[in-house]
């Protein structure tokens, strides 16, 4: 299994946009992103560095594997 890198919230948002997500709304420092087909939701904090556990929690409901996510970066 590939290790998750330390990335910023902005880099995570850009990668999810490449995967077909769009920004639905923002509340404070959290951006809510949606994808219609297949339906998925991701909540991304716009911090300078996202912790590995948080990044794993972001990827889990999206259905993206770590390898697929790394290709989108």
Question: Would 2 be classed as within a structural domain?
Answer: no
Q: What is residue 3's predicted lDDT score, i.e. its pLDDT? A: 81
| Rounded-to-integer distance, Cα 2 and Cα 18, Å | 20
In the block, tokens 């997500």 appear at 21
Q: Which residues pair with 7 in a beta bridge?
A: 50
Question: Would 13 be classed as within a structural domain?
Answer: yes
- Reported as a single tens digit per residue, the pLDDT across 1-56 is 678 889 999 999 999 999 999 999 999 999 999 999 889 999 999 989 999 999 99
Specify the DSSP class assigned to residue 34: E
Q: What is residue 24's predicted lDDT score, i.e. its pLDDT? A: 96
Kindly report the pTM of this predicted structure. Answer: 0.89
Q: What is residue 2's predicted lDDT score, i.e. its pLDDT? A: 74
Q: What is the span of the domain harbouring residue 32?
A: 9-72
Helix (H) or strand (E) holding 12: helix 9-18
Question: Would 43 be classed as within a structural domain?
Answer: yes
Q: What is residue 4's predicted lDDT score, i.e. its pLDDT? A: 82
Record the tokens describing residue 21, joined without a space: 């997500």
């Amino acid at each position: 299994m590939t290790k998750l890198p330390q990335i910023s919230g902005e880099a995570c948002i850009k990668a999810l946009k490449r995967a077909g997500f769009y920004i639905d709304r923002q509340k404070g420092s959290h951006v809510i992103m949606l994808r219609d087909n297949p339906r998925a939701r991701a909540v991304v904090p716009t911090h300078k560095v996202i912790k590995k556990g948080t990044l794993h929690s972001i990827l889990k409901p999206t259905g993206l594997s770590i390898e697929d996510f790394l290709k989108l970066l």
